[in-house]
Structure 1
Amino acid sequence: MKKLQLFYILSFIVTISAKAQDTLQTKKNPFTEARFHYYLKTILFFNEYLDTESGSFNTTQLRFLHPIANKAWNLRVDLPLISTNTSSVNKTGIGDIGVGISYIPYLDHSKGIAFRARIISNSASDPALGTGKWVFAPAVFYGAYIREKKLLWIASLENQMSFAGSNNRNDINTTSFENYFMYIIGKNWIAADVAFRYNATNKGYPNNAFIEFGRKITSNNMGYIHPSFAFGNHKSYNYGIEVGILILF
């Protein structure tokens, strides 16, 4: 189960995504080659509902992850379908499609380091369903087990910065520091997450937090649900709920 949780967190969050296999490779310098084969082919399907001051947004997203190279690398594709329900806009269509690469240079049975880079395209079928910008988002992650490997902690630092797109839309420049804690109970887990963000464009702090409840359904499938809420000035929503299924194959 501890291998499953490490996979889930680094992949999702989140964030971010890895599952440590039992094939250990002995290297004098762990940064010259991955010490484990981490990744499996993965499908993550989730639905997220967000309540905002002007209405609601619902995102149904398919995320596909595929191992590449020596399986220490991971290709990620995000395909979102977004519905809006506001006083001025009621639309459904494709949102901004994202592509990312993740790499875990070091991982042992108690701690690990990961890096990720994403490009979020200006590909929404309607301006109301996307940012109108091309966004580059690099991130770094550190994870460690504590309390006799019953509690997993993942910390991440990510910056999202726009580099092209519509001149009529606001530039994107947001830095986030996120901490995720997961407590493992047999085939179940309960987790808490808080993300502190600074939006340099509007000088705001669109922070959020959530509690997550998850369960290993079969040997290769997991399900989870997490309610969330936002806090801080210029927050992007009020409250939300997300339900997802993770399939490994």
Structure 2
Amino acid sequence: MNLRHSALAVLFLGSAFSSFADAASDSAQANNPLANMTAFNMQNYYIGNMSGSDKTANQFWLRYAQPFTLGESQWLLRASLPLNTYPSPPTGGRQTGLGDMNLFTAWLIDTGNPAVSFGFGPQITAPTASKNALGSEKWSAGLVNVLFDASSPTFQYGYLASWQHSFAGESNRSDVNVAAFQPFLFLQLGGGTYLRSAPIWNYNFQNDGYGVPLGLGIGQVIKSKNTVYNFFIEPQGSVADNGPGQPRWQIFAGLNLQFPN
């Protein structure tokens, strides 16, 4: 091989390595809720069996996240609005409509490692439900804390912890005092394909109700121009629950989009 061919080979290998590195970086950051990118998510929970009911249910979530700068601090704003389909015990049917909107703002703390994201801040839930049975009819506020570690291109992990308590709303409805913890586990298989587990564990301090599901799913990350598409499906089953309204099994699926700022 002559010098010219050697130089071309080095350039080709360098370009290929850069492409593989970029793809690995995109896959590692595709599930980061604190990624420094604008995000729009469409996520759905099909609940095939729910405690206290023989009916199925469904939650379809629209989520929008936007990083912003306030002074010298970096923040992330996330808005979530569900479309709920829940059983209606008096009629034996179902009701479908908008649920309560949630907003949280997380202050992103400099961890000294650009692959590790950590943030915390306030949250508020507004009683935007279109039907009484589809929401709490309460204003609630609380705190959120998020960690995501993408130091490894192969395995990423983290969590989203939250708590909120009602402070206003309809007096004839139960107060809200709930906590939730969502662990994130992602194992990259290569080519943008990954295994995932991201169940939400919840506890209701008002009635000691709780749900502890576990899940195992698969996802695919595809980058087209500057947009990252993240498709996934994750069946989840309950390993412990108490009280009505807890999913015994459900299917979590969605499409997450990330755009450059």
TM-score range with shorter-chain normalisation?
A: 0.7 to 0.9
Query: What are structure 2's unaligned runs of at least 5 residues?
Result: 1-22
Q: How far apart are 1:224 and its partner, in Å?
A: 0.9
The residue that corresponds to 2:243 in the other structure is 234
Task: Report whether the alignment pairs 1:92 with 2:96.
Answer: yes
Q: How far apart are 1:199 and its partner, in Å?
A: 2.0
The residue that corresponds to 1:188 in the other structure is 193
Q: 1:195 to 1:100 in 2, by over 3 A?
A: closer
Hey, what's the Cα distance between the residues in 1 that align with 2:159 and 2:100? 26
Aligned pair partner of 1:211 in 203, 208, 216: 216
Q: Deviations over 1:127-178 (max 9, x none)?
A: 11112221223111233357x5421120343212222222222212122344
The residue that corresponds to 2:171 in the other structure is 167
Q: 1:77 to 1:5 in 2, by over 3 A?
A: same
Hey, what's the Cα distance between the residues in 2 that align with 1:132 and 1:5? 39
The residue that corresponds to 1:32 in the other structure is none
Q: Which secondary structure does the structure 1 equivalent of 2:209 belong to? A: coil
The residue that corresponds to 2:156 in the other structure is 152
Identical amino acids, percent of aligned pairs: 23
Greater CA deviation, 216-225 or 173-182? 173-182
Structure with the bigger RCO (C-alpha within 8 Å, sep 6+) is: 2
Q: 1:7 to 1:115 in 2, by over 3 A?
A: farther
Hey, what's the Cα distance between the residues in 1 that align with 2:174 and 2:149? 37
What amino acid does structure 1 have at the position aligned with 2:56? S
Larger-gyration structure (1/2): 2
- Considering fraction of residues, name the structure with more helix: 2
The residue that corresponds to 1:222 in the other structure is 230
Hey, what's the Cα distance between the residues in 2 that align with 1:65 and 1:48? 20
Query: TM-score w.r.t. structure 2 length?
Result: 0.75
Q: 1:79 to 1:178 in 2, by over 3 A?
A: closer
Aligned pair partner of 1:113 in 115, 118, 123: 118
The residue that corresponds to 1:31 in the other structure is none
Q: Which secondary structure does the structure 1 equivalent of 2:56 belong to? A: strand
Is the CA contact (8 Å cut-off) linking 1:121 and 1:135 kept in structure 2? Answer: yes
Hey, what's the Cα distance between the residues in 2 that align with 1:93 and 1:48? 15
What amino acid does structure 1 have at the position aligned with 2:210? Y
1:1-249, aligned counterparts within 5 Å? 1=23, 3-5=25-27, 7-11=29-33, 17-18=34-35, 38=36, 40-50=37-47, 51-52=49-50, 53-54=52-53, 55-69=55-69, 72-87=74-89, 88=91, 89-107=93-111, 108-145=113-150, 148-186=152-190, 187-219=192-224, 220-230=228-238, 231-234=240-243, 236-249=246-259
Q: Deviations over 1:209-236 (max 9, x none)?
A: 2223111133421111111123222262
What amino acid does structure 2 have at the position aligned with 1:225? I
What amino acid does structure 1 have at the position aligned with 2:66? H
